[in-house]
Structure 1
Amino acid sequence: MKKGQVIRFIYRYIMLMIGAAMAAASIELFLVPNLIIDGGVIGVALLLNNLSGINFGVLIFIINLPFLYTGYKHIGKSFFISSLFGIVFLAIIENLLLTMSPVTNEPLLATVFGGLILGAGVGLVIRNGGSLDGTEILGILLSKKIPFSVGEFVMFVNIFVFGWAGFVLGWEQAMYSILTYYIASKAIDAVVQGLSGDTKAAIIVSDEYEEVARAINDRLGRMVTKVYGKGGYHHVDKEIIYVVITRLEVAKLKSIVHDKDEKAFITIMDTQEVHGGRFKSAIH
């Protein structure tokens, strides 16, 4: 392995450890003491832990095994190893935290901060190629055979999980659990899509493309890419400008473009992640 690959490999597994440790801390120090659960496999493991007293780490490992095997067969070896590593580390850290006192006994605080920490931890694991919850693995595979998206499948499963929680823990705790799941899902999205993910991609069609491109580079400090295209109506060749900016630079970009060409056509889209090139999120 080259030096760069070794560094990326080490970084990846450090992030998996941090993500799993955050999830374990959320579960043991916030959620379990307040009888609050999350959705999916983690929620099922927490419910079974409450009913049977079997160690949560053992439960989440056993329940996830068939999903991990399926992931290995259909998604790949790297995903399997990363997920297995994250789940085992989660179980180890959870056991180490068993004797610690909860951070709070206030259910609402446990819901909000437990959900945030859990979501951030799970998001780190997903971002680095693993998973702590087999529900989504199953959803990805079944979505090819059933008329439901992955999100719809996971939601369908969680209806049963939270309904079960209502009977086992009480309906008030079930409502706290639903709120925890919602907060955690938003935190997962923020981490997976990038904490600096307020980036936009802009496509600009203008007859003054040379001046527009130069102005964006000079006044906004952004490098642009020119894409060759052809008008669908007049069939005239055009150079289309593509540039990635931050959310706070949108208004400035519009002003720069319209200063050079009031008739310019601008399309601004959300982006999931930005890697490589010379893009930096700092505002110029």
Structure 2
Amino acid sequence: MSTVNTTDKTAPAATSETPKKDDIAHRPYEDVLALLLGTMVVSLGVTLYSESILVTGSTAGAALLIEHATGLSFGVIFFVINLPFYWLAFKRMGKAFTIKTFIAVGLVSAFSKLTPMLVEFNTLNPIYAAVAGGALMGIGLLMLFRHRAGLGGVNILALYLQENFNIRAGYFQLAVDMVILVCAFLTLPFDKVLLSILGAVILNLIIALNHRPGRYFTAR
């Protein structure tokens, strides 16, 4: 997948500057592939967490907490909980970003429901689930970010802050995720929360270390 500089002046919706001639925009089919593959990877990570009774941060973490507490479908909860954030996405990040994010959220909701039907775990070590699940979600989010998409909620706010105030998306998300994970102590066993925190650190470090302003040369 191509990389992105989220503070680049050519980024759509974040600025009115005219793109430079040597900027390389993603073609439509590249965006489609990134949305499909990125959301599929995220959904596999979510499945590992769901099977191991772990949580992550952002709206996905809130959806997992509600799933564990109520037994409702993660996909439905995740889709509904993200609805209020589309207004911010449209106002601050632009129409294209909002449409891609809406599609990405819908795909994660669908894939997270289909994946358990296609993959069965006879043995799943919770430590492995925390590390691998966090890594998978981080890699999937990174793919989406570099194609000007997100997974709603805190992702939208994190990208907005990075593009407009140079606040690292990964570090901001990590701070928010810690708050969500502290709330998990009220519903999950202590060891599950600790493993969830480990996964959240891995997820956000992947984003923070690989999605940095000025590191890449391609646009969008």
TM-score, normalised via structure 2 length = 0.77
Look up the SS of the partner of 1:113 in the other structure. Answer: helix
Q: Deviations over 1:80-126 (max 9, x none)?
A: 01101111111111111233313742111111111111111111111
- 2:20 maps to 1:77: no
Amino acid aligned to 1:158: D
- Give SS of 2:84's match: helix
- Which amino acid letter does the alignment assign opposite residue 43 of structure 2? A
- Which consecutive unaligned segments of at least 5 residues does structure 2 have? 1-23
The 1:110–1:103 alpha-carbon spacing in structure 2 relative to 1, beyond 3 Å, is farther
Q: Which moved more, 1:165-174 or 1:41-50?
A: 165-174
Change in Cα spacing, 1:124 to 1:166, as seen in structure 2 (3 Å) is same
Matched, 1:172 2:219: no
Aligned residues: 193
Alpha-carbon RMSD across the aligned residues, in angstroms, is 3.0
Give the counterpart letter for 1:272 in structure 2: R
- Residue 184 in 1 paired to residue 203 in 2? yes
Are the aligned partners of 1:15 and 1:124 in contact in 2 as well (CA < 8 Å)?
A: yes
Could you tell me which amino acid in structure 1 is paired with residue 149 of structure 2? G
Q: Deviations over 1:56-81 (max 9, x none)?
A: 11111111111122111221000001
Aligned residue identity for 1:36: L
Per-residue displacement from partner, 1:199-221 (whole Å, max 9, x unpaired)? Answer: xxxxxxxxxxxxxxxxxxxxxxx
Structure 1 residue aligned with 2:56:
38
Contact 1:86 1:132 in 2 (8 A): yes
Aligned to 1:125: 144
Instruction: Report the equivalent of 2:65.
Output: 47
1:214-229 to structure 2, matched below 5 A, reads none
Residue 78 of structure 2 corresponds to which residue in structure 1? 60
Measured at CA, do residues 149 and 184 of structure 1 come closer, stay the same or move farther in structure 2, by a change above 3 Å? closer
1:187 Cα offset (Å)? 2.4
CA contact (8 A) 1:124 1:192 kept: no
Of structures 1 and 2, the one with the larger relative CO (CA 8 A, separation 6+) is 2
Cross-structure match for 1:160: 179
Whole-Å separation in 1 of the counterparts to 2:209 and 2:81: 27
User: Which residue in the other structure is 1:96 paired with?
Assistant: 114
**Identical amino acids, percent of aligned pairs:** 25
| Residue aligned with 1:273, SS | coil
Aligned partners of 1:71 and 1:137 also within 8 Å: yes
Match of 1:9 in 2: 28
Does 94-103 or 11-20 show the bigger shift? 94-103
- Whether the 8 Å CA contact 1:12–1:128 is kept in 2: the answer is yes
Q: 1:103 to 1:72 in 2, by over 3 A?
A: farther
Deviations 1:13-64 (A, max 9, x none): 1111100000001111x11111111111111010001111121111111111
